[in-house]
Amino acid sequence: MQLWVLQKKILLRLLLLIVVLLVVWKLWSNHRQLTDEAELSKVGRTFVPVGVATVQTAPMRQELEADGIFLPAKEMFVISETAGRVIDIFKNKGEWVKEGEIIAKVDDELLRIELEATQANLAKLRKDRERVENLIEGEAAPRNKIEDLELGIFAAEAKEKGLKKQISNTSIKAPMTGTLGLRFIERGSVIGPGIQIGQMTNLEKLFLMVKVTERDVLQVVKGQPVEVKADVYPDAAITGKVTNIGLRADNAFSYDVEIEVANPAKTPLRGGMHARARFHFPEQRNVLTIPRKAIAGSLQDAKVFLLETDTVAVQRKIDVGAIQGEQVEVKSGLKLGDQVVVSGQMNLQDGVRVKVVEAVQLKN
């Protein structure tokens, strides 16, 4: 019995040893495979295949594109010119209001009472003047008596005129034709002179405000037609015209250009919407151009990969100008005949070895 137990223990130990040896062998095999793969990855590929295009000159019509937002051509606050309690409201937010229509009414009872008293006093002064004139004709009164009455009548007439104006101001009227977009008062509100009681907006015409660089602003002319496309209607072009050009640059050395457009009935626009303005200039000029897809990054910080030799590409910062279709004007950073990478940039770094597998022809 003891011999059988001993044999069983030896057998279990042999099995355990075999399992341990198998695990060690598997781990060693995996390690060897990973090491081999790492060595292969170090060898890698000795070049990156790329497509290139040659920098060349091409005629380019002068165009300028600028983004901006629409602003109402006419917008105005409704300002109170009187003080008192609002006793009636005639127009609500969102209503179309014509110039001169009454929006709200302020209590004018005390002003009317004062006007009645002034008119009664004025009537008495005029009758007194008639009596004194009769007495003067009969030499029963001195002439200087009528001068005092004339002064009194003049003062009363001025007061009457002022009170009528104040009563008229209690009817708060629309200063322009448009939509009452905001209203800040309700019946019972107490207001004073200079208080904003509403805001009116007219969207029949809009201004597109764009910014252009100091290099481009000298080409823009007041009255020049401009093609405008709103982001919400990318296929609908609107014709506008330049109505104002900024005289001073902002901190970014850009100038404001104001473009007036009529608000289309079929594609209505609102203030604050984004749009793109395209200025067309008749002159054409020969410029250095490259394909747009050669630009690595944004047009504001344009870079390209330039073939320094037949097998090495280096990154080069360039200054771009006008864009026409797939062509981009190069203002500085490249010269005629240079070759730039147009495909394969994702795998490139400055100074990487390349192999040209495709030469792209730039279309004029």
How far apart CA 219 and CA 232 sit, in angstroms, is 28
Q: Compute the radius of gyration of the chain from its Cα atoms.
A: 43
How far apart CA 257 and CA 245 sit, in angstroms, is 5
253 found inside a domain: yes
Other CB atoms within a 10 A radius of the CB of residue 174 amount to 19
Mark whether 182 and 103 lie in a shared domain.
Answer: yes
CATH of the domain at 131: 1.10.287
Residue type, 2: Q
Task: Give which of 251, 356, 364, 264 is closest to 308, Cα–Cα.
Answer: 356
31 found inside a domain: no
Residue where a domain stops, chosen among 262, 282, 302 = 282
Mark whether 336 and 253 lie in a shared domain.
Answer: no
7 found inside a domain: no
How far apart CA 196 and CA 174 sit, in angstroms, is 12
Mark whether 136 and 114 lie in a shared domain.
Answer: yes
11 found inside a domain: no
**Domain with 335 in it:** 49-62+285-360
CATH of the domain at 187: 2.40.50.100
pLDDT at residue 119, as a whole number: 93
Question: Strand pairing partners for 56?
Answer: 289
Token duo for residue 111: 């002003």
pLDDT at residue 270, as a whole number: 92
Asked whether 339 and 290 are in contact (CB, 8 A), the reply is no
Count: domains in the chain: 4
Asked whether 66 and 88 are in contact (CB, 8 A), the reply is no
CA dihedral 131, 134, 136, 138 (to 10 degrees): -140
28 found inside a domain: no
CATH of the domain at 230: 2.40.30.170
Q: What digits encode the pLDDT tens for the residues 173-195? A: 999 999 999 999 999 999 999 99
How far apart CA 224 and CA 281 sit, in angstroms, is 10
4 found inside a domain: no
Q: What digits encode the pLDDT tens for the residues 192-249? A: 999 999 999 999 999 999 998 887 888 888 999 999 999 999 889 999 999 999 999 8
Asked whether 330 and 288 are in contact (CB, 8 A), the reply is yes
How far apart CA 327 and CA 360 sit, in angstroms, is 13
Q: What digits encode the pLDDT tens for the residues 275-321? A: 999 998 776 678 888 888 888 877 778 889 988 888 888 889 988 87
Global model pTM greater than 0.85? no
Question: Strand pairing partners for 61?
Answer: 284
Reported confidence tier of residue 41, pLDDT bands at 50, 70, 90 = very low
CATH of the domain at 311: 2.40.420.20
Q: What digits encode the pLDDT tens for the residues 332-363? A: 889 888 988 888 878 788 888 888 887 766 55
Reported confidence tier of residue 19, pLDDT bands at 50, 70, 90 = confident
